[in-house]
Amino acid sequence: MMITSILLMAGKGERMNKDINKVLLELGNKKIFEYSLYKLLKYTDEVICVVSKNDYDEVIKLLPSEVKVTIGGKTRGESVFNGLKMASYDNIIIHDSARPFLDEKLLKDIKKDFDEYDAILTYNECKDTIYLNDLELNVLNRDKLIRAITPQCGKKDILIEAYMKAVEENKTFTDDISLILNYYPNIKISTIKASDNLFKITTPIDYELAKLIWREYD
């Protein structure tokens, strides 16, 4: 079974407050995006990097020749769709390069689930108590909550169909699995609990935390 990985790196990293895209920041002896890049190159059959126009010249110099490259869009969804159009294989892994700490076990579990499921959602447990911030301040039952992270995975045909519909209807979704579920509510989805280390580097404190653990993933 063959897998294409779409590695998203076409954001601006505004919440990091640096003058460059956060995924190009140094972490140990490489850049943030290179951690997930090399794991995906090792465990999947094709990697497509989705890069912004701004970063293209710098990034292209750092990529091994077998990596495919395409330009991202204004939203994360547009960036995913651009990557999907270049995918060669039927099984797709979509990953945020801002989550550098992918591990081998997770990628192996995903590979197994592609045999049985149409899509795969990875998640972290919810550590906080969550309220709806409305007049009633209803508390949500934490045992029933999960936090969606990436990798998010699906069959190429389903993802492309769903993304085309979303474009037609001018709808945006905050992640890929919710987009798939909106158009294909009955497909078989597996959920895999991932390590807390797969957190997303979003603000400066996340970057500081990453500096403490990168060696485990070098």
Question: Residue numbers of the site for ligand CTP (CB under 6 A)?
Answer: 8-15, 23, 50, 72-76, 79, 96-98, 200, 202
Closer to ligand CTP by Cβ: residue 13 or 151: 13
Least distance from Mg ion to the Cβ atom of residue 189, Å: 24
Instruction: Look up residue 26 and give its amino acid.
Output: E
Closest distance of CB 17 from ligand CTP, Å:
9
129 versus 172: smaller Cβ distance to ligand CTP? 172
What SS3 class is residue 177? helix
Helix (H, G, I), strand (E, B) or coil at 109: helix
Q: For residue 175, which amino acid is it?
A: D
User: What is the C-alpha separation between 28 and 130, in angstroms, rounded?
Assistant: 35
9 to 28: interface string for Mg ion, x by CB under 5 A: --x-----------------
Considering only the stretches 8-16, 45-53, 96-104, 165-173, report the one whose residues sit in contact with Mg ion under the rule CB under 5 A.
Answer: 8-16
Sequence-ordered strand ranges (E) for 15-142: 26-27, 30-31, 46-51, 68-71, 91-96, 119-125
Check if the beta carbon of residue 151 is closer than 8 Å to that of residue 123: no
Q: Which does 159 bind (CB under 5 to 8 A by kind): ligand CTP, Mg ion, none?
A: none
User: Which of ligand CTP, Mg ion, none sits in contact with 98, Cβ below 5 to 8 A by type?
Assistant: ligand CTP
Cα–Cα distances in angstroms (integers) from residue 59 to residues 40, 104, 108, 194, 204, in the given order: 17, 25, 28, 28, 22
User: DSSP label at 74?
Assistant: S
Closest to Mg ion by CB, 75 vs 190, is 75
Amino acid at 45: D
- The smaller minimum CB distance to ligand CTP, of residues 183 and 207, is found at 207
Contacts with Mg ion by CB under 5 A lie at 11
